[in-house]
Structure 1
Amino acid sequence: MTTSYTSPLPESIDELWERRSELTPDDAEAREIIVGAVDQIDAGKARVAHVDPETDEVVVDQRAKRAILLSFRVLGMEESTVGGFHYHDRIPLKTRLDGVRVVPGAIARWGSYIAPGTVLMPSFTNIGAYVDSGTMVDTWATVGSCAQVGKNVHLSGGVGVGGVLEPPQASPVIIEDDAFLGSRSMVVEGARVRRGAKLGAGTILTASTRVFDAETGEELKRGEAPAWSVCVTANRVKSFPGGDFGLPCLLVLKRLEEGQEHDKLALNELLREHGVNG
């Protein structure tokens, strides 16, 4: 994460960050600056992180994260209602949803960006998240604070995409374009699912998860599902003084041709072939 990057947000956010312990909801000037910055994130004009197309590095906008964290200091608790439901929170619900299909029960907080063409089933998208066009956030899926989800991604039912707000320089979870996350999969701690990767149901991926190629036995980069691959959670035996124990790892079952679509039925068939639920 060494790529030089200039945030589109005002430098005054950094100045406010240095005296954040002094800020309260009564500071109208600070609140105006901070709300304006988070509103740019809400509109997709700024984002917490992105992948640099030239270096393939994840670039984090610390100023965007700081603006979000500061908003919790300058926004007071307010009551709101949606139908018969009553809420009491500092962060309001998102209202900028042009071109987005939002099914009743879906919750997206202000400060998250949801691109036109996205479908939100009853799910939760937290502040700072970025969800690009053509993506399906399926029932009970959660997109954590500052998580970055690309185009044409399918987050199946119950998927958990973790959030990382602090520290500001920490990289959030990155789900790249055309990825598929099977039901109840969990991707957390700044892990990265590269373009076109498919995760079987119940797959767990963290930043420290060891990754192995089933065909060669080669160990790959930790915390990443390789591009255009089909992956599942597996176990690798490790010896300890108390005995031998199976520790979770990510197993790459198959490599796909770059750009190759892998429809859900074919994916389920492949996973069943290896004794894994689709």
Structure 2
Amino acid sequence: MQDLENLINQAWEDRSMLQQKNVQEAILHVIGLLDKGQLRVAEPLPEGEWKVNDWVKKAVIMYFPIQEMKTIEVGPFEFHDKIPLKKDYASQGVRVVPHAIARYGSYLESGVIMMPSYVNIGAWVGSGTMVDTWATVGSCAQIGRNVHLSGGVGIGGVLEPPQAAPTIIEDDCFIGSRCIIVEGVRVEKEAVLGANVVLTKSTHIIDVTKPIPETYKG
């Protein structure tokens, strides 16, 4: 894996390397690992923090210029894009209601339910989570297990800069209808957000559970 990481980092610094077959194969391999859940853009650490694998995000960014536009036909529907759609949901144990779309390079654990919704490349969605109607999970966002993303929720994608943390929703959270969570905000375990809450890195969050209220951002 270290050799793969080194090659991706070299190509990031010298984009002319994207013309090389071995570099293209390396990028495709990383996206394939993301799609299978064998690699993540960010991963939780035992002490409760998160580690960002910036080289993986670099591979996602460099995936776009090496891909050609193709027509994708799904029954009577047609798309024209560089990234294919995920497939084989039944074998993965994922329920996908018509008009839900997940892009190749995202990962859905067994037990995920997608109502008509959208999950972008690099995202990771844990088992038991429902992505409800018209909810969107942006590029590289990390959604924990047993989460409910209610109707119309927008989880922002964070691709650049590569070292920036993605938007993270940890296990057992309830995110109310039409909430917007962006800019790499982390919502910690078992949090409940009411409808229409907007969280950005500059949002002031006041903790009133302590003797003296404390204010946080993001």
The alignment's TM-score, normalised by the length of structure 1, stands at: 0.73
Find the counterpart in structure 2 of residue 11 from structure 1: 6
Superposed counterparts of 1:21-40, under 5 Å = 21=16, 23-24=18-19, 27-40=20-33
SS of alignment partner, residue 139 of structure 1: coil
Find the counterpart in structure 2 of residue 250 from structure 1: none
Does 2:102 align with 1:118?
Answer: no
Comparing 109-118 and 205-214, the one that deviates more: 205-214
The 3 A distance-change label for structure 1 pair 79 and 178 is same
Question: Which residue of 64, 81, 85 maps to 2:77?
Answer: 85
Shift of 1:189: 0.4
Find the counterpart in structure 1 of residue 49 from structure 2: 57
2: distance between equivalents of 1:86 and 1:28?
A: 30
SS of alignment partner, residue 86 of structure 1: strand
Does 2:195 align with 1:193?
Answer: no
Q: Which has the higher helix share?
A: 2
Shift of 1:140: 0.1
The alignment's TM-score, normalised by the length of structure 2, stands at: 0.93
Shift of 1:107: 0.5
Q: Which protein has greater RCO, CA pairs closer than 8 Å, 6+ apart? A: 2
2: distance between equivalents of 1:20 and 1:68?
A: 14
Find the counterpart in structure 1 of residue 172 from structure 2: 178
CA RMSD of aligned residues (A): 1.8
Find the counterpart in structure 2 of residue 168 from structure 1: 162
Report how many aligned residue pairs link the two structures.
215
Any stretches of 5+ residues in structure 1 without a counterpart? 1-5, 224-278
Shift of 1:30: 2.4
1: distance between equivalents of 2:212 and 2:192?
A: 19
Any stretches of 5+ residues in structure 2 without a counterpart? none
Deviations 1:244-276 (A, max 9, x none): xxxxxxxxxxxxxxxxxxxxxxxxxxxxxxxxx
Find the counterpart in structure 2 of residue 275 from structure 1: none
Find the counterpart in structure 1 of residue 34 from structure 2: 41
Shift of 1:217: 6.6
Find the counterpart in structure 2 of residue 101 from structure 1: 95
Question: Which residue of 150, 158, 163 maps to 2:144?
Answer: 150
SS of alignment partner, residue 30 of structure 2: helix
2: distance between equivalents of 1:37 and 1:81?
A: 25
Give the AA of the match of 2:30: A
- Identity, in percent, stands at 53
Find the counterpart in structure 1 of residue 15 from structure 2: 20
Give the AA of the match of 1:12: L
The 3 A distance-change label for structure 1 pair 96 and 166 is farther
1: distance between equivalents of 2:205 and 2:75?
A: 46
Superposed counterparts of 1:225-244, under 5 Å = none
Give the AA of the match of 2:52: V
Which stretches of structure 1, 4 residues or more, deviate above 6 A after TM superposition? none
